[in-house]
Amino acid sequence: MASETKTYTLEEVTKHDKAQDCWIIISNKVYDVTSFIDQHPGGRGALIYVAGTDATENFEQVGHSEDAKGGMSHFYIGNLHLHSDHKPAPTAFSATTTATNIQQQEVGDAKSGDQDYKNNPIPSPSHSTIPQAQA
């Protein structure tokens, strides 16, 4: 029999929110993409942007190929622990997040070695929903 699937609380996942330690949630599954950041065809900024959050919406918006969806399994580490009073995980586009906050929190956190990302969080022009922070 396969070993039991590990579950992680949202609190645990949110601790892994940086390039050197990057977990993301997609469809209530937890992925450790730390080793994938430099290989991601969509760029490292895209993954750092959603580090420690629920990236389901972002992932779906890109329209990832079947290959990409298959490749995800390499990084799967367990499931998100869902409580009965489960609140949705924060996303990079959370309604309570203002563009200013994104600049200070999300972009600010990714400063080391990610200067390009500061100006262009998701390196794809197809992401029209990314809020553009104004100085």
Using CB under 6 A, list all residues that contact ligand HEM: 24, 31, 33, 40-42, 46-47, 49-50, 55, 58-59, 62, 64-65, 67-68, 71-72, 75, 122, 124, 126
CB 45 to ligand HEM: min, Å:
9
**Residue 59: CB minimum distance to ligand HEM, A:** 4
Closer to ligand HEM by CB, 67 or 85: give it. Answer: 67
As measured in angstroms, the least distance from the Cβ of 57 to ligand HEM is: 9
Q: Which residue is nearest to ligand HEM (CB)?
A: 42
Asked if 56 contacts 25 with a C-beta cutoff of 8 angstroms, the reply is yes
Q: How far is the CB of 84 from ligand HEM (least distance, A)?
A: 27
Q: Which two tokens stand for residue 52?
A: 């420690």
Q: Which is nearer to ligand HEM, 10 or 83 (CB)?
A: 10
Residue 115: count of CB within 10 angstroms of its CB: 9
Residues 6+ apart with CB under 8 A from 127: 61, 62
d(CA 110, CA 99): 15
For residue 41, which phi and psi values (nearest 5 degrees)?
A: -60, -25
Cα 85 off chain centre by: 23
